[in-house]
Structure 1
Amino acid sequence: MARTGRRPGQTQTRDDILVAARNQFAAHGFRGATIRGIAAEAGVNPALVHHFFGSKDQVFVEVLNLPFNPALLVDTLLSGPREQIGERILRLFLGLWESPDTQLPFFALVRSVTTSPEVADQMRQFLETAVLGKVAAALDLPPLRLTGAAAQMMGLAIVRYVVKAEPMASATEDEVVALVAPVVQYYFDG
């Protein structure tokens, strides 16, 4: 009698899905790639893609080894009083850059998006769909304001963590938040 269920031992399925996802994102971009397309290329049922990763957003996070969870980012922005969004998002952002677990992946991400037009395009599509579009819709905010806030924070990251310009590089988190959070908040309130 044939056994049902998963085969015992290690499986290559997860890795096969990631390889297929890389190919699909490279060929079609974030918006054009689909769970069905990824599953078809990997030779698995789409339910297995969902089993291993949950959503297309999470597959993309794994493929690019992104150092953040977009759902957490969106939840952080949307939870709590609107008048404190600037501080919430800035503290989350600084925490990601300063954590030993996420700092190196963030540096790799910055290098990748600034040196590869393909990676930059995929990242742009992903951010527009998985983060910026969701937050703009939830807050009834013009997308330009949200991308302005993102630009402000990326500029801060470049100056503080990549260039390490003083005194910004050695300022405490509280000093940076006191200085920059009102500017970020402006994009949400303006």
Structure 2
Amino acid sequence: MSDDVAQVGQPRRRGRPARSAAGAEPAARDRILTAARSEFAERGYDKASIRGIAKGAGVDPALVHHYFGTKEQVFAAAIELAFGPTFQVPELIPAGPPEQQGERLARFFFGVWENPVQREPLLAIVRSAVGNEAAAAVFRDLISSKLMVRIAAELNVPDPQLRSELAAAQLVGIALLRYVIKMKPLADVDPEYVIALVSPGVQRLLTGDAPAGDAPAGGTPGHASS
């Protein structure tokens, strides 16, 4: 688990629980985060509770407070864990030719979502954030500080913060329609075709330039394999 995740969970401690508290071992933190993700996914942010999270993890509620503090802090830690792979996106911007930035980001982003192991926790967190303003604020602040600001810092264009947010909005919007709402035909189209179509727009937002190849014209889109 990353140091960042540990830091999110640390700000508030309510006293160290007794040794008899169930699950008072290092693995308990991971079980709590896994249970929190399930609790938020199944019950939504409003109805999720520290007690329910503790029950799902097989620990005492005091241990959840000890590791993470409030429900908001548990949610923030769950977001950071689920979105861990996505936080690597800013490192991709200077990692290759500038004219391929849009394709690199789109390919990495959809690669994360196409992985079933990574997609399920992402879906759980996004569903919770969409339905509650408090959860949305936690989600927004974390994504802004851990992702958008870092992407903007790598861009050598006017209004880098706005451009990075517009690029993210395009990718996230497609992800919502494809993986959450499952709108057809978008949900069934081969991801390579989606990447080819969306990359030029992302490239223009990040650099102001269109990539040399641009999007494919015409043709019949492929379909994603099940």
Identity %: 31
- Superposed CA RMSD in Å reads 2.9
Deviation at 1:17, TM superposition (A): 8.4
Q: Does the 8 Å CA contact 1:25/1:122 hold for their aligned counterparts? A: no
Partner residue, 1:123: 139
Q: Which SS does the other structure have where 2:185 is aligned?
A: coil
Deviation at 1:108, TM superposition (A): 0.7
Matched, 1:162 2:157: no
Q: Which SS does the other structure have where 2:200 is aligned?
A: helix
Specify whether residues 95 and 78 from structure 1 end up closer, same or farther in structure 2 by C-alpha distance, changes over 3 A only.
same
Deviation at 1:75, TM superposition (A): 1.5
- Rounded to whole Å, the distance in 2 between the matches of 1:117 and 1:138 is 30
1:144-163 equivalences under 5 Å are 144-163=162-181
Q: Does the 8 Å CA contact 1:86/1:182 hold for their aligned counterparts? A: yes
- Rounded to whole Å, the distance in 2 between the matches of 1:131 and 1:17 is 30
1:59-138 equivalences under 5 Å are 60-62=76-78, 65-138=81-154
For residues 10-63 of structure 1, the C-alpha deviation after alignment (integer angstroms, 9 at most, x for no partner) is 853663886446326837xx9xxxxxxxxxxxxxxxxxxxxxxxxxxxxx5556
Q: Which has the higher helix share?
A: 1
Aligned residues: 151
Partner residue, 1:26: 72
Q: Does the 8 Å CA contact 2:92/2:105 hold for their aligned counterparts? A: yes
Deviation at 1:126, TM superposition (A): 1.2
TM-score (norm 2): 0.57
Where structure 1 has 5 or more consecutive residues not aligned to the other structure, the ranges are 1-9, 31-59
Matched, 1:181 2:194: no
For residues 53-99 of structure 1, the C-alpha deviation after alignment (integer angstroms, 9 at most, x for no partner) is xxxxxxx5556541433542222233212221111111111111111
Q: Does the 8 Å CA contact 2:103/2:199 hold for their aligned counterparts? A: yes
Partner residue, 1:143: 161
- Rounded to whole Å, the distance in 2 between the matches of 1:138 and 1:18 is 37
